[in-house]
Amino acid sequence: MLEVIAYFAISYIVVINFARLLLRRLSKRNVALNTLSRGAIVSLFLIAPFMPYIFVYVQTIMVSKQIYPSIAPSLIDYGFIPKIRKYMVLSFSNNRADVYVVTVCHEADKKTPLSWVGVDIHYIKSERGWQPDGPAQEVWSDCGNTDGNIFPPDPAGGFLH
């Protein structure tokens, strides 16, 4: 969660300073901006930190039918339980994909809450469909000591619990 807070704090510091600089330069050049134009510029800059999340979300929707059937078998191959809490397609091209998956570390009894792990899996497209390419990287874990990063940052367990 700290990574997400840091990402947005740094992003908004950069974005706000850039927007102020742009508005100052435009006013020095005597470019007349009405309140609506200033509001539009500021609004565009304020949504800028969310653009990576929007891109990943749209990309995940676009390619989920292609890539989703390959996720569970690859989780089994890597020794994880294929109980998927969420997944995001971080990058995608015609023959390569990078997928972030939140899945169960191990099965728990009914009294013990489930433990989760975030895994980054690289895929390559072959004649047999999407196949894992290289080792899976554990990004974070409730049941171990893994501490890694992905971009855009995702809090442990995801935003939706």
Q: What is the pLDDT of residues 123-161, one digit of tens each?
A: 999 998 899 999 998 888 777 666 666 767 676 555 433
pLDDT value, residue 145: 64
Question: What one-character-per-residue DSSP string does 70-106 give?
Answer: HHHHHHHHTT-EEEEEEEEEEEE-SSEEEEEEEEESS
Asked whether the beta carbons of 124 and 95 are under 8 A apart, the reply is yes
pTM for this prediction: 0.74
Asked whether the beta carbons of 78 and 64 are under 8 A apart, the reply is no
Residue 59 confidence (pLDDT) above 50: yes
- Mean pLDDT confidence for 62-78: 92
Q: Which segment of 48-57, 82-91, 105-114 scores lowest on mean pLDDT?
A: 105-114
The C-alpha atoms of residue 154 and residue 157 are separated, in whole angstroms, by 8
* Mean pLDDT, rounded, of the chain: 81
Dihedral sign, Cα of residue 16, residue 17, residue 20, residue 26: negative
AA letter at 26: L
